[in-house]
Amino acid sequence: MFATAIGAREFSLRDPMVFILYGVVLAFIVALSLYYMLSAFKRAKELGIESSKIKKVITTSATFSILPGLGIALGVVTLIGTLGIAFPAIRLSVVGSLQYETQMANGVAEGLYGSMSNMIAHGISAQDFATMAMIMTIAICSGGVEVLFFYRLYQPKIGKLMAKTTGGKKGGVNIGDLVFQVSFIGMVIGYLAMSIETLAKNVTFIDGYYNFIAVLVAMGCMYVFDVLINKANWKWLDSFSTPLSMLIAMFVVGIISFCANKYGWALSTDLSGSASEAAEAAKNAFAMIL
């Protein structure tokens, strides 16, 4: 039945049905958020909390919701060329994350066509889209399902572990903080390795270095922002440094991509095979965004 339904309708990333589904999901999320916000506001009034404090909490919460939204918007932009607009917006506005979504999308593309550029150049079929959507969705939902059914079983043990310290001076280092730092640094190193691996490949077109260029630009921006925050006392910049670094890096890569597509910036004179496909893929992705 599912295959018949797919075959009866021509597949398109811009199909109105996809946007209708996104509207349904978005309406549910907004309604749920409004319900909890109004319930919390009513409870605060019952407890006699001052209106000024309530307004401050609302303002702070809104700020910390908008800033991560910049990163979500960037994630949607990076996936537009592959999955259109609606599906990335659904994924990243619910339980998705920029790092996970892009990694899963690239993994599926490499498994099906060898690379993301080859997949875009070939054209994404309904089966390709369904495969990528299912892998991205089912895997990320496993965390929520695990917490829902098993969190109470291991939460006491985690609580005891988080209260312990190890080594170091002045009482030692909290194990919970140490585990988080190690995990975060490991994740960063993993993504750095993914961007640097192109240096060991025989890349003939400049788009193979986009990730590496973005990393260098983002690192430079973060260094400048860190200096401004600590030396010039621009504390307000602290909350914006990460999304701004991402925006600037993507903007720089976008300019390079546009110029490479327009002027044919190749790293060699041979644009046969995968290099020519990459050039065509960049052209198609840019046209889809417009």
pLDDT per residue as tens digits for the range 215-264: 899 899 999 999 999 998 888 787 678 778 878 887 888 888 888 777 76
- pLDDT band for position 278 (cuts 50, 70, 90): very low
For the question of whether the overall pTM of this predicted structure is more than 0.85, the answer is no
SS3 for the chain is: CHHHHHHCCCCCCCCHHHHHHHHHHHHHHHHHHHHHHHHHHHHHHHCCCCHHHHHHHHHHHHHHHHHHHHHHHHHHHHHHHHHCCHHHHHHHCCCCCHHHHHHHHHHHHHHHHCCHHHHHHHCCCHHHHHHHHHHHHHHHHHHHHHHHHHHHHHHHHHHHHHCCEECCCCCCEEHHHHHHHHHHHHHHHHHHHHHHHHHHCCCCEHHHHHHHHHHHHHHHHHHHHHHHHHCCCCHHHHHCHHHHHHHHHHHHHHHHHHHHHHHCCECCCCCCCHHHHHHHHHHHHHHHHC
pLDDT tens digits, 176-225? 788 888 888 887 787 778 777 777 776 666 666 777 888 899 899 999 99
* Mean pLDDT, the chain, whole residue set: 77
d(CA 68, CA 108): 26
> Rounded distance, CA 26 to CA 71, Å?
18
